[in-house]
Amino acid sequence: MRKQLLLAGLICVSAIAFGQKKEIKKAEKALDAGNATEAVSFINEAESMIAGADNDEKTQFYIVKGRAYLADAGTKNYDKLMTAAEAFKQAKEMNPTGKDAETLKIGMANLRVALVNSAVEDQNAQNYKRAAEKLYTSYTIQKDTSDLYYAAGNAVNAKEYDKALKYYNDLLDMGYTGIQQEFIATDLESGEVVTFASENDRNTYMLSGKYTNPEERMSESVRGDILQKVTLIYISRGENEKALALMKEARKENPNDISLVRAEADMAYKMGDMEKYSSLMEEIIADDPNNPELYYNLGVGSANKGNTEKAMEYYKQALELDPNFTNAKINIAATLLLEEGKIIEEMNNLGTSKKDYDRYDELKEVKNDLYRDALPYLESAAQDRPDNIELIRTLMNIYSQLGMDDKFKTAKAKLVELEDGN
């Protein structure tokens, strides 16, 4: 009697195993036919029977499950992408060999592509939290450290600073620099150097005849960027000592790394150490003397220290290097108009004597001279940014003060149009 019961049990187990294999085969056939939804349905049927399967059968099941959910997810369905990732991880833990190992390798590579492309869509839509999650999942699948780097950046944008700090510190512990070989060519129409995803991509585009000068180069290190982000996170959390210690160690290791000098300058600025900031910025400019943004940043630092004369010098240097540097134009005008408040205050406090009237006229002319000096910069900036309400409002007020009636009316009409549009 016992033997009969045992035999019946063996028959039952065999039937379950056969049913499980059958559903997996159905799922594979559905995938080959391009029917991902049907494949998912079959694999879900098999899942209830997987517990008693042997290692090889479980490996096959998880590989097919990962492929099915990946195919059904596209780049849009977050939950299915995560299910595919978990299935591939479970398959990998089974240490597959032979054909299964190759199939799993291809599946995980395809999953990384889907996750990265989906993360780019999220990033463009400013859904930084979801982008970080997908990129981190991609990193856990393929261990590509660039995915971890971009996951950290998106975590910063999502204000998930604890996650970002962990990711960045992991990268620093690994010695990650992000330096890699790049395949470039020059766009004949624009003259710009274009970076391609791979050598094959570059070579394919070269066949179009639209590119020239195919070359290889090494990308710049992102270590400075990582240190900058980490120090800023520490500063935002009030952990200035950690920020300073980290930067000191980094500069000691790489004293000539200009990206680290930039990071330290940014840290000094955030900590309000304008003296050190300006000193570091001068060091950066010595390395890149034709960069207008550096002079502009020095101008901002000087202005924050109350040195308006030096700020004006730097803003004008930035504008000389780039005549279209709109922020430099605006800051030059703003610096010129700083004296306006003091002049108006003195005018308002004058009495009614002849001496006071004469002084009033003098001050009015000084004030109007300020307006005349600032006007070309403001008008040029308004041409660059015709929809900037504050610029148009400032211009309208200056035109009114200078009696420029026609320009005043035009600016007023433009201001009304912009405000109505908002």
pLDDT of residue 408: 94
What is the structure's pLDDT at 288?
87
Which pLDDT score, from 0 to 100, does residue 52 have? 67
The predicted structure's pLDDT at residue 284: 85
Domain 223-324, CATH: 1.25.40.10
pTM of the model: 0.62
In the prediction, which pLDDT does 11 show?
35
Domain 340-421 has CATH 1.25.40: yes
**CA atoms of 361 and 126, how far apart (whole Å):** 54
The stretches in the chain having pLDDT less than 70 are: 1-20, 51-52, 422
Angle at 136 between CA 151 and CA 131, to 5 degrees: 55
State how far the Cα of 110 lies from the Cα of 38, in Å rounded to an integer: 20
Query: What is the Cα–Cα distance from 179 to 220, expressed in whole angstroms?
Result: 6
Pick the CATH number of 2-174 from 2.60.40, 3.40.50, 1.25.40, 2.120.10: 1.25.40
pLDDT at 422 (0 to 100): 63
If 0-12 CB within 10 Å is exposed, 13-18 middle and 19+ buried, where does residue 16 land?
Answer: middle
In this structure, are residues 168 and 230 in contact, taking their beta carbons and an 8 Å threshold? yes
Q: Report how far residue 233's alpha carbon sits from residue 183's, in angstroms, rounded to the nearest whole number.
A: 34
